[in-house]
Amino acid sequence: MATFQVSLVTPERILFEGEAEMVTMRSGGGDIAFLAGHEPYVSTVEIGVVRIDRPDGEKERFAAHGGFVEVDEGAVVVLSGVAERADEIDVARAERAKAEAEGRAASGDDAEADEAVLRATARLEVVEQS
């Protein structure tokens, strides 16, 4: 399978930079997968898991909490305000945050609580899939 260059960066650091066969994530238009030769594309990155399938068969997973994605000239660049690797996630803390946010979300229309549930869920998914 053909490969392409991928970068996943936050304001503080580069989480991933290298070759990939496929990148999947949730963007403003829904779930999307990028392969080599993808048409130019710009969209938001929604809260969720960014999966990078490397040529060696390894799958890198990150919890991304918003941002932007751009595909141009054979490269995918994901700019996220906050993104985390599985080994950086405190599972107990994420579980507590999810339970607390679900409680707040159940009590009414609370967009902040809904986003907190999504962030905690993405963190837990990354840990479970790694």
pLDDT tens per residue across all 130 residues of the chain: 899 999 999 999 999 999 999 999 999 989 999 999 999 999 999 999 999 999 999 999 999 999 999 999 889 999 999 999 999 999 999 999 999 999 888 887 788 989 999 999 999 999 998 8
User: What pLDDT score does 126 carry?
Assistant: 96
Q: Considering all CA atoms of the chain, what is the largest pairwise distance in Å, rounded to the nearest integer?
A: 49
pTM of the model: 0.92
User: What pLDDT score does 29 carry?
Assistant: 85
Measured CA to CA, the distance from residue 79 to residue 5 in angstroms comes to 14
Measured CA to CA, the distance from residue 77 to residue 121 in angstroms comes to 23
User: What pLDDT score does 49 carry?
Assistant: 97
Q: Where are the domains of the chain?
A: 4-85, 88-129
Give the residue ranges of DSSP H helices in the chain: 91-106, 111-129
**Whether 8 contacts 51, CB under 8 Å:** no
The CA R_g of the chain, rounded to the nearest whole Å, is 15
User: What pLDDT score does 104 carry?
Assistant: 87
Q: Which CATH class is domain 4-85?
A: mainly beta
